[in-house]
């Protein structure tokens, strides 16, 4: 009987091949294919778990130690929120609103009224470039930098020497209260930065997400008395709903350390982990080599983690979308994702191609007889 399940999301680790990629402007995008061309790419432990045996991939091994599948997203999007919601059992047929030309004046005007100051930018922008271009004016005026992307996000950047992180979080809470109904973006994101030009984003990012529209597996587990532990930005993505304990991390490295520590923690239920650097640090910055290096670090961690699992532990490795760092776009890409399911003594199967990330929630709830 399974006692603990560790569900790890390698944020943005797509494997290409989405049937509807063209509709999202992502025809040909393939995050895995892009990074495995790098000299820094290494995935020995992922291959051991069956990554390269997945339908449509090459280079598999004769006897992988885990079951494996290719998962196709059913929700109408390619963002973090919908991807994680679907993993947790909620399929979203309606896309979250996006604002590639900036937010409408009625939103910005009301936001400025509520926070008591003007804002800067209001455009779709790269997070690193926007602070380079607007940082000096922000420091001079104190006006927060508001920007978006092709994803459903309202992002606010402030220098921590001008606007405290606590005040920035309060700005985000106000924006979250404002962005409802037809303006319900998936996430309001605090983006504090520091230092002198060209500035550096700090580790105090915080996401203020929409509540899922219905109960997720997190709710079902916690309501049934199981532990639901989040590591990384999982708590933020689900706005804390259904989570019994949370550990915030500022980097993948910190996430790896916390995951290893949790191997020694006695709990019964789910540990849900997000490793965000793949997406935020490498994918969105079109850093192929950096992404490849981080996969190699994750792979090294994975080998140690698997060796530390008990016989009544289960490990699931998956992703929430793609973010091909080799394309001109710096945004997420509509891609299929891997699903690797490991438990010592468990029958090993090629699960084939499955429609719906929610397959993962079905597996988890079944393990706990829910």
3-state SS of 119-172?
CEEEEECCHHHHHHHHHHHHHHHCCCEEEECCCCEEEEEEECCCCCHHHHHHHH
Q: Which CATH superfamily is domain 105-209 in?
A: Phosphopentomutase (3.30.70.1250)
pLDDT at 297: 98
Average pLDDT over the chain reads 97
Question: Which tens digit of pLDDT belongs to each residue from 280-329?
Answer: 999 999 999 999 999 999 999 999 999 999 999 999 999 999 999 999 99
* Residue 130 banded pLDDT, cuts 50, 70, 90: very high
Q: Cα(300)–Cα(135) distance, rounded to whole angstroms?
A: 38
pLDDT at 232: 97
* Residue 151: pLDDT over 90: no
pLDDT at 150: 82
pLDDT at 261: 98
pLDDT at 75: 97
Domain range summary for the chain, segments of one domain joined by +:
4-93+211-367, 105-209
Tell the CATH topology of 4-93+211-367.
Answer: Alkaline Phosphatase, subunit A (3.40.720)
**Sequence-separated contacts (24+) of 249-252 with Cβ below 8 Å:** 250/203, 250/204, 251/203, 251/277, 252/276, 252/277, 252/278, 252/294, 252/297, 252/298
Residue range 205-215: average pLDDT?
Answer: 93
């Amino acid at each position: 009987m399974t006692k603990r399940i560790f569900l790890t999301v390698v944020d943005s680790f797509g494997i290409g091949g989405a049937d509807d990629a063209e509709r999202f402007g992502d025809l040909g995008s393939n995050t895995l294919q892009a990074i495995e061309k790098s000299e820094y790419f290494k995935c020995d432990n992922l291959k051991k778990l069956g990554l390269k045996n997945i339908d449509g991939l090459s280079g598999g091994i004769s006897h992988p130690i885990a079951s494996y599948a290719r998962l196709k997203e059913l929700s109408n999007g390619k963002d973090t929120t919908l991807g994680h919601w679907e993993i947790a059992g909620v399929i979203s047929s309606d896309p979250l609103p996006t604002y590639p030309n900036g937010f409408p004046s009625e939103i910005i005007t009301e936001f400025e009224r509520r926070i008591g100051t003007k804002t800067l930018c209001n455009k779709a922008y790269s997070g690193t470039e926007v602070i380079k271009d607007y940082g000096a004016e922000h420091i001079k005026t104190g006006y927060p930098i508001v920007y978006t992307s092709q994803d459903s996000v309202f992002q606010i950047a402030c220098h921590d020497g001008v606007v405290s992180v606590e005040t920035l979080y309060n700005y985000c809470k106000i924006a979250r209260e404002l962005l409802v109904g037809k303006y319900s973006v998936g996430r309001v994101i605090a983006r504090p930065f520091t230092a002198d030009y060209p500035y550096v984003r700090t580790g105090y990012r915080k996401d203020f997400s929409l509540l899922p529209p219905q109960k997720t597996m997190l709710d079902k587990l916690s309501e049934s008395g199981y532990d639901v532990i989040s590591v990384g930005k999982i708590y933020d993505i689900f706005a804390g709903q259904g989570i019994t304990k949370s550990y915030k991390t500022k980097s993948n490295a910190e996430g790896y350390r916390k995951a290893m520590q949790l191997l020694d923690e006695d709990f019964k239920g789910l540990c849900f982990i997000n490793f965000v650097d793949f997406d935020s640090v490498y994918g969105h910055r079109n850093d192929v080599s950096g992404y490849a290096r981080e996969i190699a670090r994750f792979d090294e961690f994975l080998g140690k983690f698997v060796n530390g699992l008990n016989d009544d532990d289960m490990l699931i490795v998956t992703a929430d979308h793609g973010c091909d760092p080799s394309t001109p776009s710096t945004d997420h890409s509509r891609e299929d994702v891997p699903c690797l399911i490991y438990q010592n003594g468990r029958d090993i199967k090629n699960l084939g191609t499955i429609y719906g990330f929610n397959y993962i929630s079905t597996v988890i709830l079944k393990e706990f007889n829910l």
